[in-house]
Structures are given as C-alpha cells and as structure tokens.
Amino acid sequence: MKIAFLFPGQGSQSIGMGKDLYDKFQEYRQVYEKVKNITKIDVEKLTFEGTEDILSETKNTQIAVLTMSLAILEILKKYNIEADISAGLSLGEYTSLIYSKALSFEDGVKLVQKRGEYMQNYVPQGNWQMAAVLGAEDETVCEICKKVKNGFVSAVNFNCPGQVVVSGDEEGIKEFQTIAEEQGVRKIRLLKTSGPFHTEKLAESSRLFRNELENIQFKDFKTKVIKNIDGEIYSKTDDIKDILAKHIINPVKFSKGLEKMIEEGVDTFIEIGPRKNFIRFCKKTKNR
C-alpha cells in the first residue's frame, strides 16, 4: 500500500470545523495552542465561535485551515499512519511542506500568516469572484476565458478532469458564464472566496511574499511533495522560494499532481481537512 496525504486550501472552511476532534484529542488542541503562540491569533475562537464572514477573510481562512490540517496530522501520527507522498491545493502545499520536514512548523505557520495578509491586503480594487466550472475540458475553459472582452477572467485551479476554477472580476465572470452556457457547459458555481487568486493581479502580494521567503531556511525533504505550479515532485535543484512566490500568481495544476501520484504507484489517498472534495477528484482522475 502506498499512501498519499491531500491537504485542502481556501474555500474549504466552515464555522465549527474540527470541533469534535478538538474536544476529543489533546494532541489536536496542542496544535491550536502552538499556532496561537506563534501568530497571536486565537484560531480556536475564530473557528468555533466566529462568523462565516470573518472566517472567510483570506488572512483568517488560510491560518485556520492550516491549523486544522496540522492538528489532524498529529492524530494520524499517534496511530502511526504516515504518507509516502503528499500534495495540497494552493494553501495546502504549505501543510505538505511542513509534513515533509522541508519547512519547520513555526516557519510554515509564520509564512502562511504573512501569505494570507498579503493576499488580502494587496488585492487591487474591484469586485472579484471565483467560480468552479463543471463538466468542461481544461482547453474549453481556457478558450472561453480568451473570448471574454468585458472584464477580466482567468483559469486558475485545474482540480481534476471536468473541474476547473476561474477567477476574475464580476463583469468578466458574468460574461464567462454567458459564453460557457452557450457552449453547453452544464454548471458553474460561485465559490466562498473573493480575490483574483493565482493571477497576475496579485503581483504585488507575490513580490512582498518573496521578501518574506528570504528569511526562511528550507531543509531536505523527508517525504515527497507535489508542486502546484507544475504537478511534479519537488527536486533538490528546485528554487523553493521562487516557486512559492510565483505560486501566488500562477495556476494550480492539482489535476496533474494527482496523475503524478498515481504514476508513482499511490493506491490510497487520505484527505486531511474540513471536507471530502479530493476523494471525488481522485476518482475522476483515476477513471479518466
């Protein structure tokens, strides 16, 4: 059996997520305390007692989802459940890097805190939206994006066969929907995120985050990690700092990452986070 851990990103959050585990496991609670000491953010209160609006703010979502994922890892560690390889969707890549020991717990938490702040505070003015496009090929979605003339829209998350996320302004997304429906796309669903993530619109966030990465010391990988930027496994020659900075303004190739893990012989995928989206992604990738 070859196991892969899959870690979620922004959009998977919900009030109360992980409360049952928090109440049951001391190891789980300790992670929340460690994150609070590092960030000065009370993730417990934010996640269990806050509002959806506050939790959905990028600076809060990213640290909350990371904390839950890291806490679940402690429970799995207690029961000797380990992975040979891991991947994360956007934000989730940081959980992978921490799990692999390439990035320390403290540095990883600090980076995600800064990443969330930059991605929230340096978004250009505008009414930004993200939407999941279901039932269309990657190439079709990209071609529709090119046809949009009024506004901005770009394909940003390639999740699995038949599911691509697009990001843009309200006008661009609206025109995209019209063109897509004319071409027979069966469903487009707006997401609980609001920013032109993984597009050039976040160039300033990427630049500032690159400066933060200069202070981080990365170590050798203890387990394999898939890169979002190209769906390949990190190698010793990769410039991790450059990759993570560019990650903010480049599309997420999660589907290619799943294909790579299957190619590597992974037969067991374990999704670690608030929801069960990845299981569906895996099935669609395997059955392609």
Name which residue leads in pLDDT, 73 or 280. Answer: 73
Query: What residue ranges define each of the domains in the chain, with the CATH number in brackets?
Result: 3-123+200-286 (3.40.366.10), 128-190 (3.30.70.250)
| pLDDT band, very low/low/confident/very high, at 276 (cuts 50, 70, 90) | confident
Mean pLDDT of the chain: 94
Task: Note the pTM of the prediction, 2 decimals.
Answer: 0.94
| pLDDT at residue 256, rounded to an integer | 96
**SS3 breakdown of the chain: % helix, strand, coil, rounded to 5?**
50, 15, 35
**Residue 202 DSSP label:** G
| pLDDT band, very low/low/confident/very high, at 288 (cuts 50, 70, 90) | low
What backbone torsions phi and psi does residue 14 show, to the nearest 5 degrees?
A: -160, 150
Q: What is the pLDDT of residues 172-200, one digit of tens each?
A: 999 999 999 999 998 999 887 768 999 99
CA atoms of 186 and 171, how far apart (whole Å)? 20
Task: Say whether 90 is catalytic.
Answer: yes
Contact 261, 87 (CB under 8 A): yes
Contact 63, 109 (CB under 8 A): yes
Q: In 17-135, which ranges are continuous DSSP H helix?
A: 19-24, 26-39, 43-48, 52-55, 58-78, 92-99, 105-121
Q: What is the pLDDT of residues 8-39, one digit of tens each?
A: 988 888 999 999 999 999 999 999 999 999 99
Is the predicted pLDDT of residue 50 greater than 80, yes or no? yes
Contact 190, 153 (CB under 8 A): no
Is the predicted pLDDT of residue 55 greater than 80, yes or no? yes
Which of 90, 100, 154, 194 is catalytic? The answer is 90
Contacts of 15 (CB under 8 A, 6+ apart): 47, 48, 50, 51, 52, 55
Q: What is the 3-state secondary structure (H, E, C) of 133-164?
A: EECCCHHHHHHHHHHCCCCCEEEEEEEECCEE
Is the predicted pLDDT of residue 261 greater than 70, yes or no? yes
What is the helix (H) or strand (E) element at residue 3, kind and residue range?
strand 3-7
Which of 198, 205, 206, 247 is catalytic? The answer is 198
Is the CA virtual torsion 160, 91, 204, 219 positive or negative? negative
What is the helix (H) or strand (E) element at residue 209, kind and residue range?
helix 203-213
Q: How far is CA 182 from the centre of its chain?
A: 30
Contact 264, 225 (CB under 8 A): no
